[in-house]
Amino acid sequence: MICINSKGEEFDLNQRGLLPGVDLSGADLIGVNLQNANLQNANLSGALLINAVLVGVDRSGAKLCDTIFRSADLTSADFEDADLTNADFEDANLIDADLTNANLTGVNFRFADLSGANLTNTCFGQLDPVASQTRPRRRYYCSGLPQTRDLMGRGK
């Protein structure tokens, strides 16, 4: 499978050796099967991974901001210490995913299955009060912290 990144560079996803450190930013990877692929230090920022299969993927050091994982199979995915700012996991399968210490600022988990997922010390950043419809002001919500903090860093 040949894909083109946001710089117009082509990559053959069938050649697994090209994937570590590869720049797939902005790439259209809809429906791709990357099961057990090595994506260490890859740039997937802004990539479309809708309906993709990413079971067993090694993504350590990967750039994942603004990535769209809608309806993707991320069973047991390892996102430990990942920066997933503004990623979209709508309707994704994140069963048993490890999101320990992940930055989840602006992430969309609407209809995602997070059964058994590890969210220890994750930071959800600013919640949109319009989207949540339960909070009148934006605040930081981070699991594993003793208290919630508002934007000024004051405890609530």
Q: How far apart are CA 64 and CA 46, in angstroms?
A: 7
Q: How far is CA 97 from CA 8, 41, 88, 114, 130, in A?
A: 32, 19, 15, 7, 27
Model pLDDT for residues 85-138, shown as the tens digit of each residue: 999 999 999 999 988 888 999 999 999 999 999 999 888 876 554 444 443 333
Query: What residues does CATH 2.160.20 cover in the chain?
Result: 1-121
Q: What architecture does CATH give domain 1-121?
A: 3 Solenoid (2.160)
Q: What is the per-residue pLDDT across 62-90, written as a single tens digit (0 to 9) for each? A: 889 999 999 999 998 888 888 899 999 99
